[in-house]
Amino acid sequence: MTADAHKRVAILISGGGSNMVRLVESMKGDHPARPVLVLANSADAGGLDKAHKMGVATAVVDHRPYKGDRPAFEAELMQVIDAAEPDILCLAGFMRILTDGFTNHYAGRMLNIHPSLLPKYRGLHTHARAIEAGETQAGCTVHEVTAELDDGPILGQARVPILAGDTPDSLAARVLKQEHLLYPHALRRFASGDRSRQDLEPDLAT
Ligand code: GRF
């Protein structure tokens, strides 16, 4: 496959970028896509250095100077992203709520990973809320992004047990392991044109 036939992927992060690292590592060999940009909304995002070390171009668009003016922040964001000409956007721990102006601009080609079994527990503090509600299972979801927060067609889920004595941190660590398997799996299928849902086998290992 010649280089330009690959789908071009931009990954948006806000923090350490462990999902971003798994996505970049997966896009090799016969994978239909290649990473072209890792962008963060803060220069302090630990994932930027990891991306740089893996040879992926990086950029920062800081939301703070915009003082809550989302459309203005997103105008710069779209300018920087579109300069890289991505076919697909992956939100990987990108902690900004996006307007429908942004989600419409990338409609049908933007994915997100969320640390719950959507549609349950949209928003933040998903693990604490699942434990508090007495759930027996938790997990993560990869979905296409639409204007509705943590909504959109589901591409896949992975489940883990919630164990006696679990804290939000211990549960988050167990779910994160599944995120690192689910997101590359879903991206490979999405980049090859398969937008159907495919869940991972539940990992009931403790
Ligand atoms: C992940 O748990 C993801 O589901 C959530 O934010 C976290 C980001 O982790 N949206 P990382 O930066 O990929 O390590």
Tens-place pLDDT, residues 135-147:
999 999 999 999 9
Which atom belonging to ligand 1 lies closest to the Cα atom of 20? 13
Is pLDDT at 3 greater than 70 in this prediction? no
Is pLDDT at 203 greater than 80 in this prediction? no
Q: Which residue in 172, 49, 64, 36 sits closest to 113, CA to CA?
A: 172
Selected catalytic residue, list 63, 114, 127, 180: 114
Cα within 13 Å of Cα(28), Cβ side: 8
Q: Is 16 in the pocket of ligand 1 (CB under 6 A)?
A: yes
pLDDT band of residue 121 (cuts 50, 70, 90) is very high
pLDDT at 196: 98
φ/ψ of 177, rounded to 5, equals: -60, -40
- The residues, any chain, with a CB within 8 Å of residue 147's CB and separated by 6 or more, are 99, 100, 103, 104
Contact 81, 37 (CB under 8 A): yes
pLDDT band of residue 201 (cuts 50, 70, 90) is confident
pLDDT at 4: 78
pLDDT at 1: 44
Among protein residues, the one whose CA lies closest to atom 9 of ligand 1: 93
Is pLDDT at 158 greater than 90 in this prediction? yes
What confidence tens digit (pLDDT) does each residue in 15-60 have? 999 999 999 999 999 999 999 999 999 999 999 999 999 999 999 9
Which atom belonging to ligand 1 lies closest to the Cα atom of 14? 12
The mean per-residue pLDDT over the stretch 162-168 comes to: 98
What confidence tens digit (pLDDT) does each residue in 54-74 have? 999 999 999 999 999 999 999
pLDDT at 129: 98
Which atom belonging to ligand 1 lies closest to the Cα atom of 18? 14
Catalytic-residue membership of 105 = no
Among protein residues, the one whose CA lies closest to atom 3 of ligand 1: 93
The mean per-residue pLDDT over the stretch 83-95 comes to: 98
Between CA 105 and CA 91 the distance in angstroms is 15
The amino acid sitting at 129 is R
Q: Is 92 in the pocket of ligand 1 (CB under 6 A)?
A: yes
Task: Calculate how far, in angstroms, residue 63's C-alpha sits from the geometric centre of ligand 1.
Answer: 19
Strand ordering across the sheet containing 7-13: 58-60, 33-40, 7-13, 88-91, 110-114, 137-144, 154-161
